[in-house]
Structure 1
Amino acid sequence: MARLSVDIGGTFTDIVLDAGGERRTRKLLTTHRAPEEAVIEGTRIVLAEAGLGFADLDLFVHGTTLATNAVIERKGARTALIATEGFRDVIAIADEGRHDQYDIFVERPAPLVPRRLRFTVPERMDVQGRVRLPLDEAAVRAVARRLREAEVQAVAVALIHGYANDAHERRIRDILAEECPGLAVTLASEVAPEIREYERTSTAVANAYVQPLMAGYLGRLRDRFREAGSTAPIHLMTSGGSLASLETARRFPIRLVESGPAGGAILAAGVAAARGEDKVLSFDMGGTTAKICLIEEGAPMKSRVFEVDRQARFLKGSGLPLRIPVIEMIEIGAGGGSLARLDALGRIAVGPESAGSEPGPACYGRGGTIPTVTDADLALGRIDPSRFAGGTIALRPERARAALAEQVGEPLSLSPVGAARGVQEIVDENMANAARVHAVERGLVVAEHTLVAFGGAAPLHAARLAEKLGISRILVPADAGVGSAVGFLEAPVAYELVRSRHARLDRFEPAPLDALLTEMAEEAGGLARNAAGGRELHETRRAFMRYLGQGHEIAIDLPSRPLSGTDPGELRAAFEREYARLFRRAIPGAVIEILSFAVTVGTRQEAPPVLPRPERRPGPAPIGTRALVLGQDDAPRDVPVYARGDFTPGMEIAGPAIIVEAGTSTIVSPSFDARLDSGGALVLERKA
């Protein structure tokens, strides 16, 4: 069986082919003007190496940051919004919160739809879904004419209480299909049928904003693969860590915003489970960003809310909210391409801006003049210029040193190496601080976790990051340089549907709730079945519950059988156990309400068997040495260089050392020793 996975990032496009029990990988610079070009080229290369053609592919799994980048860079479609009369400015008013209450100049992200393209129509549903004011269809047709005049490419329809009754939203779509053929229409009642008007509207607008771009790209990609002879189904990685069919992804592309990082979290969870690790910090550092995710008891933490285009890196509320299933992680502008410069106070600052693949870091020789983290790593000896990206990109150390000297070193009276050390310390501290914040917000001790490092740049920085966080164990999985793409191949097929329906445990009526859950299961099953390929599907149900009048809910598992009149007692007990776990106490006798229900239908993901521990023995002979800058001075020291392919399970070496492979290099600092385990992962353990 030949399985292909592709991860398009802001700097690199990663290709993984798993065929005949062998894995082949490739890293190429992302071709932003036509992303499918790098995908096709990289696929041709790995297929040729395996002696296969496009017709031999059995499965193609794809993840991409194109939707995220379109929102951040404001390069989506010309989008309009149709709302209930009187609610034109929902996305501008937002929730009236301030992510920094003491900043009188606080900036919020600009709405994706300008006010001149926000339209309203007379209609009204109440919270129970009853029609209070019928839809004015003449007003809808008048809005359609204005959409044509404004040359709008996509429209989001988000009406008050549309989650309770979507009849008016569906009728607006029908009218727009008559009046504006070819217009991409997103209904909030399909994308996010939940309470909280601002979040629901924001999600619908974002989906509409990226839909023409993503639908066009995915259509071109499908056609190019068909022209090349491939008939393999194309699945897309979603932000929630599961696979969806290409057609589902074209309808709901907003679910792809964190698809690449989600694949990395799936990889880290599998690596942890196979080694019996129950507390893991996933560390994915690529060319543009670094992603950090907490994994507890073999499963990444998940959320129903994600913010894109944050104006402040660590502050909730500073971005555009999306109500989608997502693996919870923190993402910062700290990748290999992150730009280094001096701020207004003359301090070294790194990111969030990135050189990307065009022009790229100064050492790429493609026109970049501002130093990046990759330039600093090269100047410190962490990167072999002849081996970068598997030898496909020749690096120029002299350009890296010149950029570091001009932009950082000379203004601070530092040598190029001193400037590089400063850049390295700042980016490592930025990532360590993000990890600390992420753990503290969840009441966890980050030092108790094992660090799983992957992505092209993560193994270069993992040891220093672990030292800063007090972590004593690091895992670098096989093919770490393309880790997210490897994770795609391990992801289950699944689709999650969430709908709001208010219920109280003291007034519990099981029959209507069962009907709702059955309807949701049928819809979610239909969307998952397209990607499951005949595999058996399983269903899980959850209720989002809270004490009456609280502002937020917690998820409680529901029985898979039909609900009954005896369930309120069991649900109360389950809710109070989870509430006490999170907040150390429950509130006896308080009224409990359910706001929303979730149904997930997908394939079951079996836990891998725990790997045996091989007997430790001496490592292989080094293939050479390299001058590496370590410690607090600019003087390099020669350290041994090992080829990862020369290790067999159990082999161990002492740090400091460098272990090289096609997609990345692992820096073993003097604080760590390294060995290869029986699953092919490098294990770095802090010295006694």
Structure 2
Amino acid sequence: MAYQVCIDIGGTFTDCLVSSANGEISIFKSPTTPGEFEKGFINVLKVAAEGYGVTATDFMKQIDLIVHGSTISTNALVERKTAKVGLVLTAGHQDILVLREGPRKGAFQWRLDYPEPYVPRHLTKTVGGRIDARGRELVALSLDDVRKIAEEFRALKVEAVAVGLLWSVVNPAHELAVKEILEKELPGVPITLSHEINPMPREYKRIIAAAIDASINPIVRTYIEKLTVALDDEGFDGELLLANCVGGMMPVADMIRKPIYSVMSGPTLAPMAALALSDEPDIIVGDMGGTTFDVSALRDHQIIVTPDSMIHDDSLGIPKVDVRSVGAGGGSIAFVDEGGLLQVGPRSAGARPGPACYGNGGTEPTVTDANVVLGIVDPDYFLGGKMRLRRDLALAAVGKVASRLGISPEAAAYAIYTTSNHNMVAAIEEITVREGINPRDSFFVCGGGATAIHIAEMADILGLKRYMIPRFMAGLSAFGGLISDLRNEESAVLLTSDADFNLEGVNEALVKLRQAGDSFLAEAGVAPDDRRFELAFLGRYEYQSFEIEVPFETTNGALSADDLPGLVEAFHKMHERIYSIRADNDVVEFTAWKLRAIGKRAGQDIWQKKMLTAHKGEVEPKTKRGVYNQERQRVEDLPVYEMVDLGSGARVVGPCLVEAETFTAYLKDQHEGEIDRYGNLVVTVA
């Protein structure tokens, strides 16, 4: 039996989805091991081997492919535990990371302190030399300045270097020369060049991307090396792919060259899973894990890629799938603030010690503890009974909130439950209502181990009409990794306009982009017939400050003069869609050209071959369980259904509970669910 595996490391549990050659998919979980993620990685593989009844060694030998969504770089950035970076800029432009792009952030928040630059001023050095916007050398590069900078960085014990010189995207000669000298003067220190990591004309985004990439380079490289050594020690000789932030996978060598693409890569896999699970045009994806609630939106059955993701006070610099996170997970800690108001999160109990009910030393009340007290989660059937929870410890923890509020433990548990729901609703509204999208018009796909417990109340608040609880819900991101393509993004800067369109130059740029994309897919072992390419340009009206991304198509990879009106009209339509206005008589400028190389992997769609048989007979609950009802302020017995016993077409009507090994779904009154042919529960709200 040959297996494909995806492993996604979360804040509390590490998820492992295994796909076999016959299309069967199984999910396994193991506690995350903070600080030693590679150990948790191997542990969950051993749990999977045990689940298949084979030794870990035999299981490893049968794995053809492991895909992995890493959190190591995201954690490093969030916790500000990155490498010490030295930054080299053009003389006279030392303040690029200080001034950023100069946007107005919170016009009425005039008392905010100005944020510190990502790289401190004492680690930011400048070098003489100047390239102009046409790529001409105006001032020769000062080699003495570079050598002096290397000496200063050596004394400062810099661990990585980022180089960002003006107009290196047009002529990279100076950046390349700086790198050559620094490699000799600072052997072993990784060096990131801005024109390689993020080739775009905007200095801030190009240089902040280089600085972030350099700051996580040693961390990501060390993690990958530890992981590959651990896999080698266990006898794994298959292929390892790593998730990137543009919704796909990259070979290990490419990720080491561009570690910034690993930032927030894990959550980007959930919307990829939703694309495969549903044909609905507009989808909201909510993934509630142990630490965070990640939410994303899909429009016209396409993922949304944003150029404006933030890390603290700085832009990430590169585009990524638009996924936003709030501290609302199963491990989010509830407390009563000084004003007597209940708060939930963002602080989390994490994996160590975890919620109080885990019995690992945690004493603070969490959302999971509240769900145990309410009776929604069965302490004896957590992870299919593999992990027993302590209801007495959950009661003791939630009791702290109850005593502060002067209410019963059950009422306090419900307050924690509904407060968490409203936190997640606010995150959903941020990515829908504030973007001009009515969530009522969208189909909701649940992800993460806890979302199905909370979705019913959130659906009522938001006015959702339908939502899906996938049978792989607890490992939705891991499932997204199993079915994701190989993806890479290339870009080239070439400024032109519809008033004087540089057709020859644009086609030369497109040829180079296609060659780079082909090279990436060829190195990844993707056959020519399994390769496809998506094109886009960055455009703006003349005198506008910022560009928008517009997709377009070509015939045989090249543009003709007859294609220009189509490009201009595509820009007008996209501008109108985003800003509700178009200016047909204005000049349209094209600033950069992009290509996304996409490669289909073998076995991505094998899961579709495993369909459920139609359910026969009446749908019978396996038991009943008491769940606290806040409206009636009493515990009521609800039917409990085992999801694995439900065939295609089986219908369940709320209020009820539906259990699987890795999650519990709570359907409220007026919520009716039906199992589809792939075993997912699709719920309609009356």
Residue in structure 1 matched with residue 676 of structure 2 by the alignment:
677
Q: What secondary structure is seen at the aligned counterpart in 2 of 1:190?
A: helix
Distance 2:684 2:202 in 1: 47
Q: What secondary structure is seen at the aligned counterpart in 2 of 1:60?
A: strand
Distance 1:676 1:329 in 2: 28
Distance 2:43 2:451 in 1: 25
Which of 106, 113, 118 is 2:112 aligned to?
A: 106
> Which deviates further from its counterpart, 261-270 or 221-230?
221-230
Alignment of 1:330 with 2:333, yes or no, is: no
Distance 1:183 1:436 in 2: 44
Shift of 1:593: 0.4
Contact 1:325 1:496 in 2 (8 A): no
Q: What secondary structure is seen at the aligned counterpart in 2 of 1:353?
A: strand
Q: What secondary structure is seen at the aligned counterpart in 2 of 1:58?
A: strand
Distance 1:73 1:109, change over 3 A: farther
Residue in structure 1 matched with residue 295 of structure 2 by the alignment:
292
> Which deviates further from its counterpart, 96-105 or 440-449?
96-105
Shift of 1:346: 2.0
CA offsets per residue over residues 469-523 of structure 1, 9 Å max, x none? 0002111111211111011011011211123221111111211221122222222
Q: What secondary structure is seen at the aligned counterpart in 1 of 2:278?
A: helix
Counterpart amino acid of 1:322? L
Contact 2:129 2:141 in 1 (8 A): yes
Contact 2:245 2:265 in 1 (8 A): yes
Residue in structure 1 matched with residue 7 of structure 2 by the alignment:
6
Residue in structure 2 matched with residue 563 of structure 1 by the alignment:
559
> Which deviates further from its counterpart, 22-31 or 240-249?
22-31
CA offsets per residue over residues 62-86 of structure 1, 9 Å max, x none? 0022111100101111222111122
Distance 1:114 1:584, change over 3 A: closer
Residue in structure 1 matched with residue 387 of structure 2 by the alignment:
393
Residue in structure 2 matched with residue 55 of structure 1 by the alignment:
61
Residue in structure 1 matched with residue 218 of structure 2 by the alignment:
212
Q: What secondary structure is seen at the aligned counterpart in 2 of 1:596?
A: strand
Q: What secondary structure is seen at the aligned counterpart in 2 of 1:441?
A: helix
Shift of 1:140: 0.9
Distance 2:469 2:113 in 1: 39
Q: What secondary structure is seen at the aligned counterpart in 2 of 1:225?
A: helix
Alignment of 1:255 with 2:261, yes or no, is: yes
Distance 1:66 1:108 in 2: 28
Distance 2:238 2:201 in 1: 39
Contact 1:654 1:674 in 2 (8 A): yes
Distance 1:417 1:387 in 2: 20
Residue in structure 1 matched with residue 657 of structure 2 by the alignment:
658
Contact 1:10 1:30 in 2 (8 A): yes
Shift of 1:161: 2.0
Which of 566, 588, 600 is 2:596 aligned to?
A: 600
Distance 1:103 1:578, change over 3 A: closer
> Which deviates further from its counterpart, 621-630 or 674-683?
621-630
Shift of 1:617: 7.3
> Which deviates further from its counterpart, 555-564 or 462-471?
555-564
Residue in structure 1 matched with residue 18 of structure 2 by the alignment:
17
Distance 1:60 1:208 in 2: 26
Distance 2:173 2:295 in 1: 41
Distance 1:125 1:343, change over 3 A: farther
Shift of 1:381: 1.3
Distance 1:299 1:35 in 2: 32
Distance 1:338 1:3 in 2: 33
Counterpart amino acid of 2:190? A
Shift of 1:584: 4.4
Identity of aligned residues (%): 30
Please list every run of 5 or more consecutive structure 1 residues that lacks an aligned counterpart in the other structure: 310-318
Shift of 1:41: 1.4
Shift of 1:241: 0.7
Which of 223, 234, 237 is 1:228 aligned to?
A: 234
CA offsets per residue over residues 381-434 of structure 1, 9 Å max, x none? 12111222343433222222222222x222211222222111111111111122
CA RMSD of aligned residues (A): 2.3
Distance 1:635 1:98, change over 3 A: farther
Contact 2:613 2:647 in 1 (8 A): no
Across the two proteins, how many residue pairs are aligned to each other? 674
Shift of 1:112: 3.5
Contact 1:74 1:112 in 2 (8 A): no
Counterpart amino acid of 1:683? V
Distance 2:348 2:197 in 1: 31
Please list, as runs of the form range in 1=range in 2, the aligned pairs for 1:370-409 lying within 5 A after superposition: 370-406=364-400, 408-409=401-402
Shift of 1:244: 0.7
Q: What secondary structure is seen at the aligned counterpart in 2 of 1:160?
A: coil
Distance 1:250 1:414 in 2: 54
Shift of 1:106: 2.3
> Which deviates further from its counterpart, 641-650 or 386-395?
386-395
Shift of 1:300: 1.8
Q: What secondary structure is seen at the aligned counterpart in 2 of 1:99?
A: coil
Q: What secondary structure is seen at the aligned counterpart in 2 of 1:175?
A: helix
Contact 2:643 2:659 in 1 (8 A): yes
Distance 1:613 1:14, change over 3 A: closer
Residue in structure 2 matched with residue 419 of structure 1 by the alignment:
412
Distance 2:232 2:417 in 1: 45
CA offsets per residue over residues 14-55 of structure 1, 9 Å max, x none? 111111322222111111121010111111221343344212
Alignment of 1:506 with 2:530, yes or no, is: no
Residue in structure 2 matched with residue 312 of structure 1 by the alignment:
none
Q: What secondary structure is seen at the aligned counterpart in 2 of 1:586?
A: coil
Contact 2:526 2:599 in 1 (8 A): no
Residue in structure 2 matched with residue 482 of structure 1 by the alignment:
475
TM-score by length of 1: 0.93
Residue in structure 2 matched with residue 315 of structure 1 by the alignment:
none
Distance 1:456 1:106 in 2: 38
Distance 1:41 1:213 in 2: 21
Contact 2:29 2:47 in 1 (8 A): no
Counterpart amino acid of 1:592? V
Residue in structure 2 matched with residue 456 of structure 1 by the alignment:
449
TM-score by length of 2: 0.94
Alignment of 1:301 with 2:304, yes or no, is: yes
Alignment of 1:36 with 2:38, yes or no, is: yes
> Which deviates further from its counterpart, 348-357 or 572-581?
572-581
Distance 1:614 1:27 in 2: 27
Shift of 1:660: 1.0
Residue in structure 2 matched with residue 71 of structure 1 by the alignment:
77
Residue in structure 2 matched with residue 358 of structure 1 by the alignment:
352
CA offsets per residue over residues 547-602 of structure 1, 9 Å max, x none? 11123323131414322233322222222233344444432221110011101122
Contact 1:200 1:322 in 2 (8 A): no
Residue in structure 2 matched with residue 313 of structure 1 by the alignment:
none
Please list every run of 5 or more consecutive structure 2 residues that lacks an aligned counterpart in the other structure: none
Q: What secondary structure is seen at the aligned counterpart in 2 of 1:678?
A: coil
Distance 1:210 1:304 in 2: 20
CA offsets per residue over residues 251-297 of structure 1, 9 Å max, x none? 21111112111111111111112xxx222111111111111111223
Contact 1:543 1:558 in 2 (8 A): no
Q: What secondary structure is seen at the aligned counterpart in 2 of 1:195?
A: coil
Alignment of 1:165 with 2:171, yes or no, is: yes
Contact 1:525 1:601 in 2 (8 A): yes
Residue in structure 2 matched with residue 591 of structure 1 by the alignment:
587
Residue in structure 1 matched with residue 636 of structure 2 by the alignment:
637
Distance 2:612 2:646 in 1: 15
CA offsets per residue over residues 204-238 of structure 1, 9 Å max, x none? 11111111111111111112212222221111111
Contact 2:615 2:646 in 1 (8 A): no
Residue in structure 2 matched with residue 314 of structure 1 by the alignment:
none
Alignment of 1:624 with 2:623, yes or no, is: yes
Distance 2:610 2:282 in 1: 17
Q: What secondary structure is seen at the aligned counterpart in 1 of 2:570?
A: helix
Distance 1:552 1:97, change over 3 A: closer
Distance 1:259 1:419, change over 3 A: same
Contact 1:270 1:298 in 2 (8 A): no
Distance 1:110 1:529, change over 3 A: farther
Distance 1:461 1:650 in 2: 24
Distance 1:649 1:582 in 2: 41
Distance 1:247 1:189 in 2: 19
Distance 1:616 1:35, change over 3 A: closer
Contact 1:60 1:233 in 2 (8 A): yes
Which of 429, 433, 444 is 1:440 aligned to?
A: 433
